[in-house]
Structure 1
Amino acid sequence: MTIETSDRGHVRTIALNRPERLNAFNGQLVTDLGAALQQAAADAEISVVVLTGTGRAFSAGADLKEIAEHLGDSAATEERRPTDTGAFAELIDALAEFPKPLIMAVNGVGVGFGMTILGFADVAFMSSEARLRCPFTSIGAPPEAASTYLLPLLLGRQNAAWALMSSEWISAEEAREIGLVWKVCTPDGLLTEAHRHADLLADKPAHILTTMKRLLNAPHREQIAAAAARENQAMAEMLGTGANADAVASFLQR
């Protein structure tokens, strides 16, 4: 199973569960997380969702091994888009449209989509030992998950530009200072603190929570969809070519 779920009261915890691959997103995990979010959205007993990772990582981002294998298989047809492109678009829609409070607990390293997914968090907590990184310029790929809209919105233009362009690591304290996460916790206290806040929200009337989130998100829905479409187009043009092809080949050699 690439996803583990557990319920406590009106709070559901969804844990990415590919620890042997640092919870990297392959096609199955993309599909399973999208389905888990849709199920939580439809469950009247669930008011709040906590998203975290198992093992020592939150998520290492896209599974480069799967992408490389797909690019090799599809070279003859010049098809450059990964097999899970449709499922990934559905996952971004599920995140953007998720109607209930979504709390993220970053338990370990978050790279690529493991960082940009935080743009969809209503509240994010982070282990003091975790680190984040957008490696896009170092692997010759454009960003994804509407991050070219959401990160400037969250961090301000210059912080977002540096995070997306530099490929440098961001510490937990830096992430808190620039507004990417709300609180930094000890590793042992991360989930306890995230669940404590989830319980506080779950005590509120469910229809008030969903109304509040709908009103908060309403001004941004069209911009998120437009940014994701632009990023998908850039991905289709760049994946498997030039610097990205070199980066994937280097990864496979390692």
Structure 2
Amino acid sequence: MVDYLLLGVAAFSAGLVDAVVGGGGLIQLPTMFSVFPNMAPATLIGTNKLASIFGTSVAAVSYARRVAIAWSVAAPAAIAALVFAFLGAYTVTQVSAEFMRLLLPIVLVAVAAYTFARKDFGSVHAPVHSGTKEQTLALLVGSGIGFYDGFFGPGTGSFLVFLFVRIFGFDFLGASAVAKVVNVACNFAALIWFGYSGHLIWQLGLMMAVCQIAGAFIGSRLAMKHGSGFVRQLFLIVVCLLILKTGYDAWLRW
């Protein structure tokens, strides 16, 4: 009973953080590995995706009702992410992702340093692309991050937010809204793969999904109430925690 309470709290917290800036997997997945140390990792990851897709979907709908989502970016990025996340999930069964564990902390440090250095980064929503160029860049971002999410995964939501701010000129709130749409596509693609291969615990995943939904609802409301400044602060906190977590994991495997 205590274990399931712990998982519920972790799922709620993950849904809340994910709804704002992504990175909820930093909370939820390690908790699942701690509670079920002898369970197959693929089953835990698949169950994590089952819970997460509900939270991300609720966050996406909440944003869509109150924020003008840039669908000209969100739609092509989500379609590309759906395809490439599935390809990434297949590729990881053929090729080791070990090099990603070593590279990820370095990339995250660069993201954090850039965001810290530019105090006005993501404070103003001023899209810099349109038409074919905007859609092409969206496809590239969706393809790259989608493949990364299927192949490895940690920090996907945070990378999406950063790229939508850096490449498209969105503010943090607008970037987070678009990132939720792309995240749903990534989770759906992974869910297809894990469901097909039988790596899902439906009852556990749906129980955690209820908690994820509650967290996502509150998180999206907080983001829209407090605006881009709040999202930026939480983004930096989550990225710093990701640096510590992935850096420690890489050090253990060195």
TM-score, normalization by structure 1? 0.31
Q: From the two aligned structures, give the one with the greater helix fraction.
A: 2
TM-score, normalization by structure 2? 0.31
The one of the two structures with greater contact order (alpha-carbon pairs below 8 A, sep at least 6) is: 2
